Amino acid sequence: MGRPFTPNWLVIIILLAHFSLGVFYSIATPIWEAYDEWGHYEFVRYVAKEHRLPPPGTKLIKWNDESHQPPLYYILSGLFTSWVNTSDNLRPVWNPFSVGRGGQGGMNLFLHLRVEGFPYRGTVLSIHTARLFSVLLSVVVVWATYLIGRILFPAREEIALGAMVVNAFWPQFLFNGSMVTNDIMVTTCSSLFLLFLIRILVVKFRASDVLGLGLCFGGALLSKRNSLALLPLALAGLAIVTIKEIRKIKAFWSLFFLLLDAGFISIWWFGVLQGKYPEHIRFIISLLSRPSSMGKLRWDVLPSALHYSFKTFWACFGWGIISVEGWVYTLVAAVCLMAGLGLVIFFIQAPDRLAAGGIIILMVNLLFVLSAPVYQVLRRGEGTWLHGRFILPAISSVSLLLFLGLSSLVSSRFSRVLVFLVGGVMFGYALLVPFRYIMPVYAKPELLSSADVQGLGHPLGLRFGEKIELLSYELDGEEVEVGGKVPVTLCWRCLNEMDRNYALAVKVLGRDHRVYGVLHLHPGRGNFPTSLWRRGDLFCETYRVSISSDTLVPRLAKIGVDFFVYGSDEGLKAFDAKGKPSDGTFGRLIIRPKRSPAVKNPIFYNLGGKVALIGYDLSGVLNQGKDGVKVKLYWRALSPMGKDYTVFVHLIDEDGKIKAQGDDQPVDGGSPTSIWRVGEIIEDEHFISLSPSEKCRCQVAVGMYDLQTMERLAVFDSNGVRLPGDEIVLGPVEFP
């Protein structure tokens, strides 16, 4: 056996590196931007301010309230932050257009204010102080992982160090361990519980370890309800120790009851204060007493739930909507599969009995931690119940199993190198995460100077309420396919500072301001609301507006913008560069089809060599509240047209008398013929109304003419014969 690998300085470096990264993550992520952090912090604030727990049944906030949670994290965090003055009573401001709420206005669930900047004060300082407390707890978890590894592999410290670096630089653990959340408290207690349990089972019985085990078990139960997963391990451990220490039964029973006392403290919380104990007892009983109910579970959702769980356990930030590249998840999954193979090899090689027993404990711990959220997924059919943060209490087990598996694939000598290889890669990636994934999502637009925007785009000078000026715009091309996205770059200048957060609507509009696509958001993708703007601030931003897939095309459209206060009728009126009222529209855009429509009733009539009528549909006769006929025409452009021709649609009776008519440019005037491309097929609908008392057996006559000269395009049939009156007769239709 080689020289012992005991660089204690390396342990200290890893702990300091983890602490530094945790602080960095806590600073890089704006306040409130983690799962239910608002609710968790309100509980912390209440304890720090009131010096007591909320009365049973009290809700501290309307949404995302966490006052029903077990109190340990909030008591300790409240003590840690009690020195901070939070009289500013800062509250989060919702971003109603966030991706997390189904919109397209940024990943941030909240709008962030100027007071959140450094140096921190008031509520902002209190939140960051609570986050620092979470980071300290996460350091304890990393340390516990190392100690567990040292116990199981006393002669191979590289196993403990390898597991330590995996734990320390696990991106999701770093993120959750730097936020205000009770997830880190239950993870800390669970890791320490596992440490004491393994010390008792693998090393030898000590009264102090049983005391620590009981306190950590009680602490876990007082941290979060998913800690009930530790109960089977606690009972099994006590049973094994009871058998081993039967000769010391008197001393052991005193410690056994001490352990139960720690558990009963938490049970008192669940049962008496929160009324949650019966629910969990029923949950456990249902699993044991009704195995037949397993067949009624939603097994079909399990694969997608496991995929979601893996992603959110490895790296998924913010409110679970900031993911990393897909290939990263694939690579990590491959490494995990390799580690699984390594564990098989570990057991085949007949390891030390105590080490193998300890590894089995780790596996059972992971299994129990997974069992409750998996059951909830199967019972409810909702994959989000298997979020990765629910598995964090098993992070010590995962880290040890992962590195042990990888080290079993290589020689003992190379496993020492593996510590530095895995540690270096994971540290580098963990350091990259805030710069690549977190900070860019919450970054404000870059402010520019007047010289920077000179010559950019098309100048506008459009003003909104003497507060905001739209200096210029730029369209990425003049055409877009239906169902696609239009990139619109707008350059803004703040004319006067605002105390309101005005939302922005960027629209693609057709004739009569018909909306073909709209994007609602706060400027800066929600990261630069107007209350943050300073007079003279100037920036450009690109917006991508989705075009409705049911738009009849081709269409001529323009861009429109306006500012409004979400949830009210208040807004900013638009004025052009000369100070005259404006509708806030500009630019020119052509919406093109992705594919040609299916043509009904194929025909062919040539109109002046410019356009052909190739089909029609008269099936839309209406007599319910609106009498008339809907005529659908299918045109094909034969050559470029420099003019916008008007389509006429006449209802004529048997005597040739016009009973009703409708003249308009194609597609309700939204698709002028000058934008048609050669070969393009245009689906054109017209509605001709009749008086309800009108009766006739009519035909439909259609054609095109130049509105300025009233001259019709000459119409020829498929044989080249010109039609009388240069009109195409379709029909018949009958009324009523």
Mean pLDDT over the full length of the chain: 86
CA 67 to chain centroid, in Å, comes to: 25
Global pTM value: 0.84
Backbone angles phi, psi at 30, to 5 degrees: -60, 155
Q: Which residue has the higher pLDDT, 21 or 214?
A: 21
**Which residue spans within 465-599 are E strands per DSSP?**
468-475, 479-481, 485-494, 503-509, 515-521, 538-546, 555-564, 571-572, 574-575, 585-592
Domains in the chain (CATH in brackets) are 8-86+118-291+301-438 (no CATH), 450-592 (2.70.50.60), 605-735 (2.60.40.10)
What mean pLDDT comes out for the span 149-171? Answer: 94
Q: Which residues contact 248 (CB under 8 A, 6 or more apart)?
A: 205
Most confident of the ranges 213-222, 504-513, 680-689, 707-716: 707-716
Supply the pLDDT for residue 291: 55
Supply the pLDDT for residue 231: 79
Rounded to 5°, angle at Cα 33 from 314 and 387: 35
Supply the pLDDT for residue 201: 81
What mean pLDDT comes out for the span 337-343? Answer: 94
What mean pLDDT comes out for the span 22-33? Answer: 96
Q: Return the H-helix or E-strand segment holding 733.
A: strand 728-735
Backbone angles phi, psi at 148, to 5 degrees: -60, -45
What mean pLDDT comes out for the span 495-516? Answer: 91
3 state SS of 605: strand
Among residues 593, 595, 590, 584, which one has the least CA distance to residue 475? Answer: 590
* Percent helix / strand / coil, the chain, rounded to 5: 45, 20, 35
Condensed to tens digits (0 to 9), the pLDDT of residues 73-83 reads 999 999 999 99
Condensed to tens digits (0 to 9), the pLDDT of residues 373-408 reads 887 777 777 767 778 899 999 999 999 999 999 999
- Which DSSP state fits 658? E
Using CB atoms within 10 A of its CB, is residue 100 exposed (0-12), middle (13-18) or buried (19+)?
A: middle
Supply the pLDDT for residue 551: 72
Per the DSSP assignment, residues forming a β-bridge with 545 are: 486
Task: Please state, in angstroms and rounded to a whole number, the distance separating the CA atoms of residues 550 and 381.
Answer: 33
Supply the pLDDT for residue 421: 94
Task: Please state, in angstroms and rounded to a whole number, the distance separating the CA atoms of residues 96 and 393.
Answer: 33
Residue keyed to tokens 């130049």: 706
Task: Please state, in angstroms and rounded to a whole number, the distance separating the CA atoms of residues 300 and 350.
Answer: 38
Lowest mean pLDDT among 188-192, 225-229, 336-340, 344-348: 225-229
Structure tokens at 24: 């960095």
Lowest mean pLDDT among 101-105, 149-153, 234-238: 234-238
